[in-house]
Amino acid sequence: MIFPDFLDGPQITDGDLVRFTFGDADLTLRLPVIPNYENRRDRVSSIKDFSVIEFDDWRHFGDDGECAKKIVYQGWIYEDTVSHDDIAECTLEIEVRKYGTADEARNFSLNSATFRSHHLARLTEGFAEFPETRPDWPSDTNNFFAKPIPLKWVDGLLVQLDLSARKYPVPVAILPLGRRYYLNISFKFGSLHYRDRKNPYSDDLLRKMSLDVFDEFLSLIRIDYSPEFLAIIESSNGK
Amino acid sequence: MINHPTHIKDVGGYIYFSDKTRGLSGKPVKIHTSLFLDFFCALDITTQEGQAVIRDIENLKVNPSAFAKSPPIALPKPRTAESPGHVDRMAQVRKNAADMSHQLKIQKETFLVTKNFRVYYHIHQKEEDSTPTVYISELQVIHRGQDSVGGLYQEKSANGDLVLSKSAKADLDGKTVFLSGATSSVEAAMEDAKYATGNHSVALFFCPMAVADDLGVWKTNRLTEQTKNLAKELEDTIRNNQTKTVNWLVEAEGAGLLSVAIEKISGSLEKHSFKFNNAKANLPKLLGDLSQHKAQLTGEFIGYQANKAALLTIVSQKDALIKQISSLGAATGYNSITRRYLTQQIASLGGQAAAKLAAQPQNLRGSSTTFLGALIAAGAQSK
């Protein structure tokens, strides 16, 4: 990643490796080491094995047993190395989501094309309630600017979503984790302002930097499928 | 002749900032003990931000800009034909002019900006100083945040994706509303709301960081238009839901905003319940106002969780707070037991350590302890 001169903050490449198990897949993330900030936001789920688990305390949505659990919530700051001013703040949120009973039986995650089409259809349906009026913003007409995230067996999906009326849409990565679960990663980024002075870095520059940081984070994700699930992928002609 | 900035009345009470600023290398840096509580509340010296601020203040000892000379006053050049006496007198005039220029410089207070601190200082050499010394006499905290707009927010699910949007006239019947403390972004405040309430569908009334600058407990600034408008929005939100059942969880600076808003509301709030966590406001007055509106203050409605500024706020108002709680309407059933526990908890909060802390600005005067040493000791005591 090309880091702007005079900006300093946690580096993804120096992060800790954290591993989660989801039955069909093992997930390895490299999470940045968060310094001891005053309002430190660094919560990583103590539950690492989701192969057998109760869903009572998960966030439930839909009417077919769909639910979600936040496994990572981290926030960090980039500061100017000369003035020590805080320049930008970012938040990484990772949720594991369980498919509804019917969707689980349909096995969308066996194939990059079906995974993509299912999740784009899900987004189209979900965001129909929030019609986007701004031109050039993500919507169902431009497929939420969807791009594939190349993975070894089944590709993930990178979309842009309007989640909180920010100046820029929020990049969200959707990654397959086998038949039962998928991963939802959002990366929110905002410039910081003191009341008495301006932020010397332009919003566009910080936006580019944020997308670079997120790309770097995604490039270090590793998903290892179980031999059983790999056999199912291969028998269905996989990728 | 006065040789310190004229607005500084208390010229005593300065102690060395840290062991590194005793003047063994670079200029000595001293700080007024009256700034102790401001520093203690606004800065955690164990954090990254705290360390950066301390290093920057220590670096004032070598900060060349602080010692830059003012431009000299222009004087006519001596003519070669002048008598030796005239040349001597002109040399004296130049020396006096240079001294006056230096005098103007040291009377001028300047400031260092680091992180969210603005540290005001001047250079001065008092009788007991062997060299010109940096005197820190004032401190201003300027919070920073993203451009999030304050107000009422709610989340809606778009097939699982949560869309956060500002709602103008929301029906809050049966809802829990989290009135946030000063937070840098609305998303972070919403996460705090869910974490504090354990409720995924909590509504949020968001206070941006700028509100903290206006609604401090120790130093109160004149309210800006932004804070006035936000208080008005809170007032309208309460008024629009006055007859509905609403549970409020009020955090930190949110209590200050509620104090401003509640003053303009008339009529009963008997269906509204309030709980406070780490409140930073004049809590006895706020509780009095709420009780006049018949708001529900039941159970352990005042909470405190390891927040230094909130602890000092409660300790400084302890007697008034206990008096106010005892004057609330008679508690019934189990509430009378929790009311008793709450009063005992507040009475014992802080104890001697907090009282010692509050007396530090006076106790530190003339002390050989450094300011940083006192902050470290106070931090260890308050844990």
Contact status, residue B94 vs residue B82, Cβ threshold 8 Å: no
Q: Which amino acid is at A95?
A: E
Residues of chain A with Cβ-Cβ distance to B45 below 8 Å are none
Return the bridge partners of A169, or none.
none
| Region of poorest pLDDT, from B90-94, B249-253, B343-347, B349-353 | B349-353
What is the rounded average pLDDT for all residues in chain B? 84
Q: Collect all residues from B whose CB is shorter than 8 A from any CB in A.
A: 44, 46-50, 52, 56, 113-116, 118, 142-148, 156-166, 184-188, 191, 200, 210, 213
Residue A112 has pLDDT above 60, yes or no: yes
Q: pLDDT for B190-224, tens place per residue?
A: 999 999 998 888 999 999 988 877 776 655 557 88
Residue B62 has pLDDT above 90, yes or no: no
Q: How would residue B300 be classed by pLDDT, with cut points 50, 70 and 90?
A: confident
What's the predicted TM-score (pTM) here? 0.85
Distance from CA of A234 to the nearest CA of B (A): 30
In sequence order, the 6+-apart residues with CB closer than 8 A to the CB of B241 are B170, B171, B172, B173, B272
Among B142, B146, B186, beta carbon nearest to A89:
B146
Residue B71 has pLDDT above 60, yes or no: no
Would an 8 Å CB–CB cutoff place A172 in contact with chain B? Answer: yes
pLDDT at B22: 93
Contact status, residue B111 vs residue B120, Cβ threshold 8 Å: yes
Measuring CA to CA, which residue among A207, A209, A128, A213 is closest to residue A167?
A: A207
Among A75, A85, A122, beta carbon nearest to B159:
A122
Q: A85-99, B83-97, B123-137: which has the highest mean pLDDT?
A: A85-99
Q: A54-63, B219-228, B233-242, B280-289: which has the highest mean pLDDT?
A: B233-242
Distance from CA of A26 to the nearest CA of B (A): 23
Q: Would the CB atoms of B160 and A66 count as touching at under 8 Å?
A: yes
| Region of poorest pLDDT, from A44-48, B103-107, B290-294, B305-309 | B103-107
Among A35, A66, A195, beta carbon nearest to B142:
A195
Q: How would residue B141 be classed by pLDDT, with cut points 50, 70 and 90?
A: confident
Residues of chain A with Cβ-Cβ distance to B184 below 8 Å are 39, 89, 192
Q: Would the CB atoms of B48 and A196 count as touching at under 8 Å?
A: no
C-alpha–C-alpha distance, residues B183 and B161, integer Å: 23
pLDDT at B2: 47
Return the bridge partners of A17, or none.
A30
Q: Would the CB atoms of B162 and A163 count as touching at under 8 Å?
A: yes
| Region of poorest pLDDT, from A112-126, A144-158, B339-353 | B339-353
pLDDT at B42: 85
Give the DSSP letter string of A62-76.
SSSS-EEEEEEEEEE
Distance from CA of A61 to the nearest CA of B (A): 6
pLDDT at B87: 81
Q: How would residue B106 be classed by pLDDT, with cut points 50, 70 and 90?
A: low
Residue B349 has pLDDT above 60, yes or no: yes
C-alpha–C-alpha distance, residues B157 and B154, integer Å: 10
Residue B105 has pLDDT above 60, yes or no: no
pLDDT at A119: 96
In sequence order, the 6+-apart residues with CB closer than 8 A to the CB of A78 are A7, A8, A9, A86, A87, A88, A89, A90, A209
Helices B334-348 and B318-326: angle between axes, nearest 10 degrees? 170
Measuring CA to CA, which residue among A2, A139, A74, A77 is closest to residue B47?
A: A77
Q: How would residue B53 be classed by pLDDT, with cut points 50, 70 and 90?
A: very high
Q: Would the CB atoms of B115 and A89 count as touching at under 8 Å?
A: no
A160 membership: H or E segment, kind and range = strand A156-161
pLDDT at B69: 46
| Region of poorest pLDDT, from B101-115, B135-149, B204-218 | B101-115
Residue B68 has pLDDT above 50, yes or no: no
Q: Would the CB atoms of A89 and B166 count as touching at under 8 Å?
A: no
Q: Which residue has the higher pLDDT, B382 or A86?
A: A86
Rounded to an integer, the average pLDDT of B85-95 is: 83
Residue B228 has pLDDT above 60, yes or no: yes
Q: For residue B89, report the phi and psi dihedrals to the nearest 5 degrees.
A: -65, -40
Contact status, residue B342 vs residue B326, Cβ threshold 8 Å: no
Residue B67 has pLDDT above 50, yes or no: no
Residues of chain B with Cβ-Cβ distance to A163 below 8 Å are 161-164
Distance from CA of A169 to the nearest CA of B (A): 12
Q: Which of residues 111-170 of A touch B (CB under 8 A)?
A: 122-123, 125-127, 129-130, 161-165, 167
Q: Which residue has the higher pLDDT, A133 or B370?
A: B370
Q: How would residue B1 be classed by pLDDT, with cut points 50, 70 and 90?
A: very low
Can you point out the beta strands (E) in chain B?
14-16, 29-32, 110-114, 117-124, 133-141, 144-145, 151-158, 161-166, 175-183, 203-208, 246-251, 272-277, 302-303
pLDDT at B382: 55
Rounded to an integer, the average pLDDT of B318-334 is: 78
Q: pLDDT for B31-44, tens place per residue?
A: 999 889 888 888 88
Give the DSSP letter string of A15-77.
-EEEEEE-SSEEEEEEEPPPP--TT-EEEE-S--B-SS---TTSEE-SSSS-EEEEEEEEEEE
